[in-house]
Structure 1
């Protein structure tokens, strides 16, 4: 798994809309089909499909 990067402002807004705290998550993949984030603390990966 690639290392996550700090989210941009738009990505932070997306993470907030998912009910998560942007300070605790890093962005692994942000493309047309998926939005993948990883937890800083546990390393848990969450994958969300794009609508």
Structure 2
């Protein structure tokens, strides 16, 4: 997966996490990092 595709998928997942909690609070970084970890579990990065 390209870096651009990875970033797009993380951004989309982070957005959905924020939407699920009604965009409440200042957790955008937490949403991003959680989405990143989930993607890494699903599709480990290759060197």
TM-score normalised per structure 2: 0.30
Q: Which has the higher helix share?
A: 2
